[in-house]
Structure 1
Amino acid sequence: MLEIKNLHASVGDDKPILKGLDLSVPAGEVHAIMGPNGSGKSTLSYVLTGRDGYEVTDGTIIYDGEDVAELAPEERAARGLFLSFQYPVEIPGVPTLTFMKESLNAQRRARGEDEMSAPDFMKHVREKAKLLNISGDMLKRPVNVGFSGGEKKRLEILQAAVLEPRFLILDETDSGLDIDALKVVSDGVNALRSPERGMLVITHYQRLLDHIAPDKVHVMSAGRIVASGGPELAKELEAEGYDKYVRAA
């Protein structure tokens, strides 16, 4: 589903961050990326989704058989790529329901599908919101305004559930979550698992992977994947840290 080969990318004044990264995530699998600060994990998520200011200088990003490296962010989103931010932004004045309805219908239009009617959309949202303990009052508020860290992350997963993307990138979704919020968010992520959907989970901590059991774990350092393994690799990192992988990189 996602094939990244020899990916090099820069940010700002041609500062290289990704330096020959290779990664393959098949449909139906959840892969986790762990690594020290500054290794390029968030940069990878931004490059995959087309954030402005991040330039691919070499390599390919093949998603569903298509090289998407030159596509605009909205074109990638319409093809089913979704990014859950580490620090979701507040959007004052924009009601949450309006934001999600417009996002969903914009993607449907881009794919040549009929827009979802208001009654059908409300039914769709309410069904998904129940899974994440999101109240009707939260949905009526402006996007993320006055939300706690846990509420913002739950709303991010609700957006994914509503949009039903084919590939999810979760950039440190566990950041700022207490134990209860982590369980709720993890349950929402697990509910999105599907044989047709792939996921890339970026995290520092084993605790998230205890709830979201990945099929594969990758270690990232110095802009490259330097080791890969099963879930036991995450436990090793938790116990021993990244030092040997940083030295190898």
Structure 2
Amino acid sequence: MHIYNPLAWFLHRGEKQEHTTPIVIFYFPTKNKVMPLSLPLHSPLPTTFSFLSLSSLPSINLRHHHHRYLTTARATVIQSDTTQQHPLLQVNDLKAKIVENGVEILHGVNLTVNQGEVHAIMGKNGSGKSTFAKVLVGHPDYEVTGGSVVFKGENLLDMEPEERSLAGLFMSFQSPVAIPGVSNDEFLVMAYNARRRKLGLPELGPLECFSYLMEKLQLVNMKPDFLNRNVNEGFSGGERKRNEILQLAVLGADLAILDEIDSGLDVDALRDVANAVNQLLTPKNSLLMITHYRRLLDLLNPTHVHVMDKGRIARTGDISLVAVIEDDGYETVSALS
């Protein structure tokens, strides 16, 4: 049985104890609810636990007889030293429809992202920007009907959502959900150490983890007591966006997709987020951001700016294209392609 959802958190209290009752928390986007499910097990818990970060879009395979959860972690949580092929992401004639009603939203998207590049996608509401991002991470509400996507030399469309995450794809969504009862430090430590286990690295101890998290908190300009708060519970919109960037800082990514990370941010918060993202960029990773506003682009200085219209990328340029958009509007810019 497969359960598709963007959030599943597996809590445990003693990974080698017998007769332990773990809790799985599922987030259902259609109901906008986070629901806990107590699942008693009558065998030792597995040594590797599955979890999802707030904005992942995984499918979780529940094997009732073995009580195992396939690994479902968010984006590339720690960057690999493996040499990557160019381009990092190659999208050719990508088409996709909404599963529920069969309406096609993407009508042939073409995009190439190389290592070290910063791409911005702009466009009016309903042009397909967020849909494109969700299709890349494998959101179950959408079905690919044509085209191809190659990520780091591999067919991305053949991967399950959790495999895309582990391959190095990170996405920050517009409305991160809250997880009552789960503190930020517990969440981040479990996520980070789980990825280290996947890479064959030893887990960090409590003191090492604390030092590492303090470093990342400074990067995002957040106070240490933030770690004691439950994930996104009672957070303002700006705090939730900062928390997304904190997760990116802690977990890492080869390609980070930020969907309107600037919405709801005041001037100071936007500057903090942009500064953190700039410090996370290296010649080996890349950024794909979706935005409506020039203010974020001025801070992140994209190498490429794309205008999306009617489910396709209608025009591509550099940062100077933003001025043309402001003067002439999206429809005029799209018509000139």
Report the CA distance between 1:20 and its aligned residue.
0.5
CA distance, structure 1, for counterparts of residue 202 and residue 142 of structure 2: 33
> 2:158 matched to which residue of 1?
70
CA distance, structure 2, for counterparts of residue 145 and residue 83 of structure 1: 20
> 1:9 matched to which residue of 2?
96
Change (3 A) 1:15 1:104: farther
Structure number with higher relative contact order (C-alpha < 8 Å, ≥ 6 residues apart): 1
Task: Show structure 2 runs of 5+ residues with no match.
Answer: 1-87
For residues 38-53 of structure 1, the aligned pairs below 5 Å read: 38-53=126-141
What is the RMSD computed on CA atoms of the aligned residues? 1.5
CA distance, structure 2, for counterparts of residue 73 and residue 223 of structure 1: 22
1:83-105 residue CA offsets vs partner (Å, 9 max, x unmatched): 01111111111111111222223
CA distance, structure 2, for counterparts of residue 72 and residue 104 of structure 1: 21
Task: Show structure 1 runs of 5+ residues with no match.
Answer: none
Report the CA distance between 1:197 and its aligned residue.
0.3
Q: 1:219 aligns with which of 297, 307, 312?
A: 307
Greater mean alpha carbon deviation, residues 58-67 or residues 231-240:
231-240
For residues 55-204 of structure 1, the aligned pairs below 5 Å read: 55-204=143-292
Greater mean alpha carbon deviation, residues 160-169 or residues 119-128:
119-128
Report the CA distance between 1:148 and its aligned residue.
1.2
CA distance, structure 2, for counterparts of residue 122 and residue 66 of structure 1: 35
Whichever residue aligns with residue 26 of structure 1, its letter is N
- Aligned residues of 2:325 and 2:333 also touching (Cα < 8 A): no
Change (3 A) 1:102 1:209: same
Report the CA distance between 1:112 and its aligned residue.
4.0
User: Secondary structure of 1:61's match?
Assistant: strand
Greater mean alpha carbon deviation, residues 209-218 or residues 130-139:
130-139
CA distance, structure 1, for counterparts of residue 209 and residue 94 of structure 2: 38
Q: 1:234 aligns with which of 322, 329, 336?
A: 322
- Aligned residues of 1:215 and 1:230 also touching (Cα < 8 A): yes
Report the CA distance between 1:109 and its aligned residue.
3.4
The two structures have a TM-score, normalised by structure 1, of 0.95
Larger Rg, first or second structure (1 or 2): 2
Number of aligned residues: 249
1:54-91 residue CA offsets vs partner (Å, 9 max, x unmatched): 11111111110001113122211111111011111111
- Aligned residues of 1:150 and 1:181 also touching (Cα < 8 A): yes
CA distance, structure 2, for counterparts of residue 54 and residue 98 of structure 1: 32
User: Secondary structure of 1:69's match?
Assistant: helix
Question: Among the aligned pairs, what percent are the same residue?
Answer: 48
Pick the structure with more helix per residue. 1
Change (3 A) 1:5 1:203: same
User: Secondary structure of 2:157's match?
Assistant: coil
